[in-house]
């Protein structure tokens, strides 16, 4: 991959960005817990007010109906987004479970989280940069734009130019985020359980503990630097993709420095001809399978903002590798067997492979086992379909939601899916949603068979 290719600009990026809303990131456990406590009180007050209104109207609403008011949905989304860090990220993670183990209501309310958070005020930005580079940090750059080009759950991205004229993107971590991860996850999980939305009879401990570890990894920018470098090297000769180049001399534990790479929102690809939409989505699905079966490193964050498109050249820009997850060879091999059995329509082999992957499949010939098999067959439907799968015309999401609700009726012995599956299916679900949004058709079966 040439340096020129990395540094080229997209016409969609040549506009001035208005300064977004700023809010200080709450730091320290006491301050962050206070935010959660206020969120709990606000939601409870909203439920009481709505309940009073419903009773006066002669209705007898369910508790979940009282929780899912527009006011409460906004309270939850806004508060988690303002807190940033694990609080916001956990909401994003849980909202992507597509009903596999969480009520649809919870996925809906968490799904309202914005893809972009507020920016840090300049005082916190200065403190973060001073921690990374020292008090004279500004001397490292000939230019530094204090207006971030992106702000998300763990950090924000600011543009800079070094003294050699290289354009850089600096991913700057919000202060206090790394230290608050474990308490944030515990506090938010407690609030969700108290609300009645997190199933009391489903053991969420493995997923929550793994979420803590995953978020701690995301907050370690030295690890993300390794992932960025790995993807850059693997895709160096792949003309379809562009990956930023790591600037290791400026990278620290809380600032990730890379070459600035521009592009336009990939969703705008929807206005391009069908053939181009199909080409781009085929490349992304192919990349997803390569990540799992060859690299065993999967970028599991389904946020569309992690993918951009260059309208002038057709290049696909890949951004943000913080949510990259390493998978063990055993899981990859067993998932390959599960996919092969699903493609062959062999339910007996599917059960054996699913159990090796980590699913609890229930008793033979039980309704529960059939439900789990149907869920897996639905998730893998595009891989099973021979020919071009039309994502826009598919009603798979509706059928998946209906099946998930049926599975919820078996809560007395429903088990949370294996954690590795949850993370990989987040990636799969993100690719499906993007393909549907773009109205793309992909021969996923042909791509999958190359790995069988």
Query: Does 69 map to a domain?
Result: yes
pLDDT-above-70 percentage for the chain: 68
CA dihedral in degrees (254, 255, 261, 266; nearest 10)? Answer: 20
Q: What is the pLDDT of residues 140-149, one digit of tens each?
A: 999 999 999 9
Q: Of 19 and 153, which is predicted with more confidence?
A: 153
Q: How confident is the model at residue 258 (pLDDT cuts 50, 70, 90)?
A: very high
- Per cent of the chain over pLDDT 90 is 47
Mean pLDDT of 237-266: 95
Q: Is residue 382 part of a domain?
A: yes
Of 335 and 15, more confident: 335
Report whether pLDDT(267) > 70.
yes
CA 232 – CA 119 distance, rounded (Å): 28
Residue 141 counted as domain residue: no
Claim to verify: residue 314 and residue 438 sit in the same structural domain:
yes
In a domain, 314, yes or no: yes
Q: Please tell me the predicted confidence (pLDDT) of residue 20.
A: 54
Distance separating alpha carbons of residues 297 and 198, to the nearest angstrom:
30
Position 36 confidence tier, pLDDT thresholds 50, 70, 90: low
Higher pLDDT: 282 or 97? It is 282
User: Two tokens at 155?
Assistant: 């950090």
Check residues 44 and 221 and name the one with the higher pLDDT: 221
Average pLDDT over residues 258-272: 92
Closest to 334 in 3D by CA, of 323, 350, 319: 350
Of 194, 225, 248, which residue is a domain's last? 194
Same domain, 58 and 187: yes
Q: What pLDDT is attached to residue 99?
A: 41
Q: In terms of domains, do 188 and 327 share one?
A: no
The pTM for the full model equals 0.76
Average of per-residue pLDDT across 22-34: 57
Rounded to 10°, the helix 419-438/205-218 angle is: 70
What's the domain range around 360? 264-452
pLDDT tens for 418-451 read 889 988 988 998 899 899 989 999 999 999 999 9
Residue 172 falls inside a structural domain: no
Is pLDDT above 60 for 65? no
Residue 108 lies in a domain: yes
Q: What is the pLDDT of residue 440?
A: 96
How sure is the predictor about 101, in pLDDT bands with cuts at 50, 70 and 90? very low
Region at 61 (left for phi over 0; alpha for psi -120 to 50; beta for the rest): beta
Residue 317, φ and ψ in degrees, nearest 5:
-95, 130
| pLDDT score of 186 | 78
pLDDT of residue 432: 92
What is the DSSP track for 189-254?
HHHHHHHT-S-TTS--HHHHHHHHHHHHHHT-HHHHHHHHHHHHHHTTT-TTEE-PPB-GGG--SS
Q: Which residues are catalytic?
A: 301
C-alpha span between 120 and 124 (Å, rounded): 6
Helix (H) or strand (E) holding 273: none
- The answer to whether residues 268 and 406 belong to one domain is yes
Q: Is the pLDDT of residue 100 over 50?
A: no
Q: What is the pLDDT of residues 281-310, one digit of tens each?
A: 999 999 999 999 999 999 998 778 899 999
Q: Tell me which of 141, 170, 194 is where a domain ends.
A: 194
Query: What's the pLDDT at 303?
Result: 79
| End position of a domain, from candidates 149, 165, 194 | 194
56-60, 198-202, 388-392, 406-410: lowest mean pLDDT where? Answer: 198-202
Parallel, antiparallel, or unpaired: how do β-strands 167-173 and 155-162 relate?
Answer: antiparallel
Number of domains in the chain: 2
Same-domain status, 188 and 319: no
Mean pLDDT to the nearest integer, 203-213: 74
The Cα–Cα gap between 344 and 375 comes to 16
pLDDT bin (cut points 50, 70, 90) of residue 32 is low
Structure-model confidence comparison of residues 402 and 384, the more confident one: 384
On average, the pLDDT of the chain sits at 80
Instruction: List, for residues 340-368, the tens digit of each pLDDT value.
Output: 999 999 999 999 999 999 998 888 988 88
In a domain, 396, yes or no: yes
> Token digits for 203?
């053991």
- 327 and 419 in one domain? yes
- Choice between 198 and 452, residue whose per-residue pLDDT is larger: 452
pLDDT band at 177 (very low <50, low <70, confident <90, very high): confident
Q: Are residues 189 and 313 in the same domain?
A: no
Do 444 and 299 lie in one domain? The reply is yes
pLDDT band at 12 (very low <50, low <70, confident <90, very high): very low
pLDDT mean over 326-336: 96
- On whether residue 435 sits in a domain, the answer given is yes
Phi-psi region of 165 (alpha: psi -120 to 50; beta: other; left: phi over 0): left
The number of beta carbons lying within 10 Å of the beta carbon of residue 377 is: 15
Residues 274, 386 within the same domain:
yes
Question: Which residues make beta-bridge pairs with 241?
Answer: 316
């Amino acid at each position: 991959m040439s340096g020129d290719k990395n540094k080229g600009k997209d016409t969609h990026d040549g506009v001035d960005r208005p300064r977004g809303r700023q809010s200080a990131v709450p730091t320290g456990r006491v301050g962050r817990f206070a935010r959660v406590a206020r969120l709990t009180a606000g939601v409870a007050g909203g439920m009481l007010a709505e309940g009073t209104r419903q009773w006066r109207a002669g209705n007898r609403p369910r508790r979940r109906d009282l929780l899912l008011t527009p006011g409460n949905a906004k309270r939850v989304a806004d508060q988690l987004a303002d807190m940033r860090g694990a609080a916001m990220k956990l909401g994003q993670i849980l909202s992507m479970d597509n009903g596999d183990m969480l009520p649809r209501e919870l996925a809906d309310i968490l799904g309202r989280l914005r893809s972009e958070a507020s920016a840090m005020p300049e005082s916190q930005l200065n403190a973060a940069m001073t921690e990374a580079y020292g008090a004279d940090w500004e001397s490292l750059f000939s230019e530094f734009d204090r207006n971030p080009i992106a702000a998300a759950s763990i950090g924000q991205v600011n543009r800079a130019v070094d003294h050699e004229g290289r354009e850089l993107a600096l991913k700057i971590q919000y202060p206090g985020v790394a230290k608050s991860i474990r308490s944030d996850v515990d506090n938010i999980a407690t609030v969700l359980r108290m609300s009645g939305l997190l199933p009391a009879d489903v053991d969420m401990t493995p997923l929550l503990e793994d979420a803590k570890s995953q978020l701690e990894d995301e907050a370690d920018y030295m690890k993300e630097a390794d992932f960025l470098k790995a993807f850059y090297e693997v895709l160096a000769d792949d003309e379809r993709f562009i990956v930023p180049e790591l600037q290791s001399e400026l990278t620290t534990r809380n600032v990730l420095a890379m070459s600035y790479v521009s592009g336009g929102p990939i969703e705008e690809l929807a206005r391009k001809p069908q053939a181009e939409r199909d080409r781009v989505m085929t490349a992304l699905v192919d990349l997803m399978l390569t990540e799992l079966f060859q690299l065993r490193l999967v970028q599991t964050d389904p946020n569309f903002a992690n993918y951009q498109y260059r309208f002038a050249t057709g290049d696909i820009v890949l951004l943000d590798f913080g949510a990259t997850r390493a998978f063990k060879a055993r899981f990859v091999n067993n998932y390959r067997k599960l996919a092969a059995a699903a493609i062959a329509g062999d339910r007996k082999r599917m059960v054996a492979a699913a159990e090796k992957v980590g699913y609890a499949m229930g008793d033979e010939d039980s309704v529960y086992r059939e439900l789990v098999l149907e869920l897996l067959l639905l998730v893998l439907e595009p891989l099973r379909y021979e020919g071009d799968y039309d994502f826009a015309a598919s009603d798979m999401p509706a059928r998946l939601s209906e099946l998930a609700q049926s599975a919820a009726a078996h809560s007395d012995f429903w088990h949370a899916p294996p954690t590795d599956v949850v993370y990989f299916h987040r990636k799969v679900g993100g690719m499906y949603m993007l393909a549907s949004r773009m109205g793309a058709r992909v021969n996923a079966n042909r791509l999958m068979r190359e790995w069988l």
